[in-house]
Chain A
Amino acid sequence: MLLRSGLLLCLFALLNVAHANSTLTFKITDQNGNALSNAVVSIKPTNPRHLPTPAHQPTAEMVQQNRSFVPYVLPVQVNTPVVFPNKDDFQHHVYSFSPTKRFELKLFSGDNAAPIIFDKKGIVALGCNIHDWMMSYIVVIDTPYFQKTSFDGTASFNVPADTYWVDVWHPQITHTMKQSVILKPNASTQMPISLYLNRTGKPEVPDEEDPFNFDYSPF
């Protein structure tokens, strides 16, 4: 992953030589001003020339470890194959009912599962049929310019000047936030974005077995 990012940065650096590149820095916060990690920011130039030609995408990994998916949010470019290595001692049953990519990896262990290629842009919610709380998202993006915010909620892009579509997604918002931004050559643009979180966050691995220990009487 780091290796891949490094490669991309090298590529951008090369491109900047040819074009006057601009810097775009996002600061993603929630409605209370807290920095948001796990937000996926992707930008797409309106001029298709600024898009690099799609290349064979390297394989990405969605590990299952300690009854959790790692990472929680995995942004990938379209047509990226993702493998699902099971590092737990027991089997998992990974599935997705998301229209972007419906699949099911029935009870498997280790690296037995075949890689899944995500060929359509969209959000794929992953679950495990055995462990209901296990949850992760694969964000399939149709642009090479995307980043997942770190703990400080920032994401930075060095891209050619152009007008860009900006998509910001986070597991706790209902709809992907869409915006546009004009990046001037050799300019550095700060783009703070506040998201309204209205969904629950990453479910915790439960201590107890029964999540529905709900004592309900209407009387």
Chain B
Amino acid sequence: MFEQLQTKIILVFVGLLAIVQIVSLVLVKQETHKNAIEQIEQQLVSGQEIFNQLIRYRGKQLVNGIRILASDFAFRDAAATQDKATILSALENHGRRVNADLSILISLDGKILADTQATNTESGSRPFPFPELLKQVKANHVAGASIRFGTHVYQFILVPVKAPNTIAWVGMGFTIDDQLALELKALTGLEISFVDKQLNGNRILASTLDSQLEYLLSFIDAHELSFNATSTIELGSEVYISYITKPKPGQRVNLSTILQHSFTQAIQPYNKLQSTLLTIYGIAFLAVIIGSSLLAKGITHPISRLAAAAKDMQDNGTSAPILIQQRDEIGQLAHAFNHMIKSIADREEQIIQQAYHDPLTGLSNRLYFNQQINTAIKSGGPRLVFTVMIISLERFDEINNTLGHNIGDKVIQRMSLQIQETCMDDIHAIARLSSNQFIIFHIDTHNDSLIIAKQIFEALEHGITYKDIVVDSDVHIGLSQYPSQAKDAKSLIQNADIAVHLAQQNGINIAYYDASHDERNTARLSMMHELRHAIETDELELFYQPKVNIEQGEITHVEALIRWHHPKHGFMPPDDFIPLAEQTGHIIHLTKWVLNTAIQQGCAFRQAGVDIKVAINLSTKDLMNRSFIKMTEELLTQHQAQADWFVLEVTESAVMQDDKKATEVLNELNTMGFDLSIDDYGTGYSSMSYLKLLPVQELKIDKSFILDLPNNQDDKAIVQTTIELGHRMGLTVIAEGVEDQATLDILQEMGCDMAQGYYVCRPANITTLQDWLRTSEWSPYHQS
């Protein structure tokens, strides 16, 4: 590119010079050609003038000579005597005096008495072949013409011989020959040709041209050329600027003179000048090429360096400062560029710091860690083996909630330091993966990943100490190995995460990623897909399990329980898909379906005149969802149902998770008229004080306390206490998991309000339930 700039600069210089040179050459050429032509034309004009004068002079010479002859007494005497010999010698003598080439005496009857060109045998009485001249001379006493006489063409004058009356005519002529042409050439410097223009071409009478050019000239059609004006004639390789005189009209010989000057020769000196100019131009051209190259290099070299530095910046994000000593604009540019490089580097460092680091611990973040792994993979080669391990601090939210975020942050910082202290020398990178997770990149040269994981675990096992507080740390570590388990950073981290979950689920400290676990995940994901399908295609069904009012001995409630008849896997227990639906967000669809179906059924009971409330289990997630209230209202409106026909069951843990929000939702549901029931009571924190704040009407004791009730004194105590406590708080208490009469009896004894379990009735579909309700001992249908 900068080579191009250099080329451009050179091209501009050279181009401009070339234009100037070409223009000047063309101008010089045009001007010199014009000058040459003008000069030639001037020469032609003056040459023509000289020519005219010379011819006139010759004419005068002739006239004078002939006058002398005609008036010579002796000649007149001889002419009068008609003595041929005397006449001839007189003609010759006088002719010689004026250098006439032809002298001729013509009798009054038009016969040639003597002529100096005739041989002896010819002399006699031939008629003079130009009667028009005789006529002219009779009229004007003198006649002149160009005549072809014998083999030559003459400039010819004819006058009478008077004695004193006209006794004869005498004529004299100069031949129009090469000698005349040469004489004129000597005077004018022009090429002179005399041409007898004839119909079939030009008869060259005389010429100063080479015989070859003369030959060519004879073919020039003078008709095409303008007379008495300059024109250009090409003869062979030469160009002649020519002036062609117009033949005098009424002449025997169409005599035309062609005055010429070779243009080719005229521009000879210019050609020499041109070659000199070309040489000078050539030298100047080379000088400009060299000069502009140097100049261009002076400009482009620093620019190339700047460009290289810029490219370096582009590719590597950094560049060495450029040393350019120039003080001109380029120097300033280089200075600015250096400044810019430094600024960019500083800013980039800052950005990288922000982008790739966790501000709390100062460790890398997930993004940067990803890059590190990918870089390692890219440059590692085929024998690279490394491990990625995630260290997960469990229940960090609880720490934040109970101890405050400030302490939470400090715990994380401590943990970070502790991990680094333990293994910094052995590992290759560490990052904070999420709020409660760290991730380590370890190249497994010594196959010691597990040892490091154990060391880390042990370091954290005994809790994290901050100031005087020791925070219990429940830590799980998940490992994933490259390349055997995954081939890219994303998958490695995902796998390590799965390994962490595996460890959590299995209650172990350290777990390796297990591909089969991953398959289960995949199965779970596909199951969610199938669940959505199931909602749409009615593979789901609600079963109902009756709750019996112990005191009344009558069924007053039924709990709606979801059943999934999977087309491939058959019956799917709710525990298999509900948590998954909660995790994946599908629960909202499931809840809607359940609510819709249960409300419909509730309405059906009312229509059938049975006073049975339908209990619906709510998910934790439902309580987090603000739109849940709206959805419930809409469904009630849609089915024209009343909220007090239904009981909503929520688990204790659900209420505990996000107390504030859940409480709000529960309050609202309660206000709408729903009865609220705490499900699985006793499995969680079971904080009675907390429960008191909730708008709850019912307490369901978890079946784990009921199943062995008749035999377990502890359970009896807990159940007894719970019932009493519940009643004190104005709550209805229900026991689930009632599987025999004994348990029912105990519960009745303890004052439990309601019982639910296989002993009462197993969950059944609506048809079976309807039948059972009619026939049961606790039937709500009062037979009269």
Contacts and interface: CB of A to CB of B under 8 A. Distances in A.
Contact of A219 (B62, B63, B245): B245
Interface stretch (A17-25, A110-118, A209-217): A209-217
A217 B73 contact: no
Interface stretch (B139-147, B288-296, B351-359, B661-669): B139-147
Given A97-B77, A218-B156, A212 B142 contact: yes
Contact of A212 (B67, B155, B248): B67
Given A97-B80, A132-B164, A215 B67 contact: no
A214 to B, nearest CB: 5
A217 B164 contact: no
Given A95-B73, A125-B165, A217 B55 contact: yes
Interface in B158-209: 159, 162-167, 176
Contacts of A75: none
Interface string B62-76: 111011000101001
Interface string A127-139: 1110011110100
Contact of A215 (B59, B81, B141, B253): B59
A216 B59 contact: yes
Contacts of B145: 218
A134 B255 contact: no
A216 B76 contact: no
B78 to A, nearest CB: 10
B251 interface: yes
A212 B159 contact: yes
Q: How large is the interface on A (under 10, 10 to 19, 20 to 34, 35 or more residues)?
A: 20 to 34
A126 interface: yes
A145 B625 CA distance: 177
Contacts of B405: none
Nearest to B173: A218
B768 interface: no
Interface residues of B, number: 41
A104 to B, nearest CB: 9
A212 B63 contact: yes
Nearest to A214: B142
B52 A127 contact: no
Interface in A16-72: none
Contacts of B146: 218-219
B248 A214 contact: no
A78 B253 CA distance: 51
A171 B145 CA distance: 29
Nearest to B256: A219
Contact of A218 (B79, B165, B166, B255): B255
Nearest to A198: B138
B165 A135 contact: yes
Contacts of B245: 219
Contacts of A135: 162, 164-165
Contacts of A133: 164
Indicate the member of A132, A171, A215, A216 with the most B CB atoms within 10 Å: A216
Contacts, number: 86
Contacts of B670: none
B169 to A, nearest CB: 14
B566 interface: no
A125 B176 CA distance: 38
Secondary structure at the A interface, as helix, strand, loop or mixed, is loop
A95 B245 CA distance: 47
B157 interface: yes
A166 B451 CA distance: 180
B8 interface: no
Contacts of A219: 51-52, 55, 146, 245, 248, 255-257
B56 interface: yes
B60 interface: yes
Nearest to A125: B165
Indicate the member of A102, A211, A217 with the most B CB atoms within 10 Å: A217
B222 to A, nearest CB: 14
Contacts of A171: 165
Nearest to A99: B80
Nearest to A97: B80
A217 B165 contact: no
A121 B677 CA distance: 192
Nearest to A211: B141
Contacts of B81: 97
Contacts of A102: 80
A84 B162 CA distance: 21
Given A97-B77, A215-B59, A125 B251 contact: no
B689 to A, nearest CB: 149
Contacts of A126: 164
B71 A216 contact: no
Nearest to B56: A217
Contact of B56 (A128, A199, A215): A215
A67 to B, nearest CB: 13
Contacts of B64: 212
A211 B159 CA distance: 11
Given A97-B163, A125-B165, A128-B164, A215 B60 contact: yes
Indicate the member of B55, B165, B245, B251 with the most A CB atoms within 10 Å: B165
Contacts of B56: 215-217
A171 B253 CA distance: 36
Given A214-B144, A216-B157, A127 B164 contact: yes
Contacts of B253: 218
Interface string A183-219: 0000000000000000110000000000110111111
A153 B194 CA distance: 55
A137 B146 CA distance: 36
A125 B163 contact: yes
A97 B76 contact: yes
Given A97-B80, A212-B64, A217-B59, A132 B71 contact: yes
B374 to A, nearest CB: 106
A215 B53 CA distance: 11
Contacts of A137: 165
A36 B599 CA distance: 168
A45 B679 CA distance: 198
A5 to B, nearest CB: 27
A97 B255 CA distance: 39
A159 to B, nearest CB: 31
Nearest to B166: A199
Nearest to A131: B164
Contacts of A215: 56, 59-60
Interface string B234-259: 00000000000100100101011100
Contacts of B167: 97
Interface in B607-657: none
A216 B137 CA distance: 13
A200 to B, nearest CB: 8
A101 B159 CA distance: 25
Interface in B674-688: none
A200 B77 CA distance: 22
A124 B63 CA distance: 28
A164 B738 CA distance: 205
A133 B55 CA distance: 29
Contacts of A125: 163-165
A120 B144 CA distance: 39
26 contacts: A97-B77, A97-B79, A97-B81, A97-B167, A125-B164, A129-B73, A132-B164, A137-B165, A212-B66, A212-B67, A214-B59, A214-B144, A216-B59, A216-B142, A216-B144, A217-B55, A217-B56, A217-B59, A218-B55, A218-B145, A218-B146, A218-B176, A219-B55, A219-B146, A219-B245, A219-B257
Given A95-B163, A132-B71, A214-B59, 6 more contacts: A125-B163, A135-B165, A199-B166, A216-B59, A217-B55, A218-B176
The 3 closest A-B pairs by CB, nearest first: A127-B164, A97-B80, A218-B146
Interface of A: 95, 97-98, 102, 125-129, 132-135, 137, 171, 199-200, 211-212, 214-219
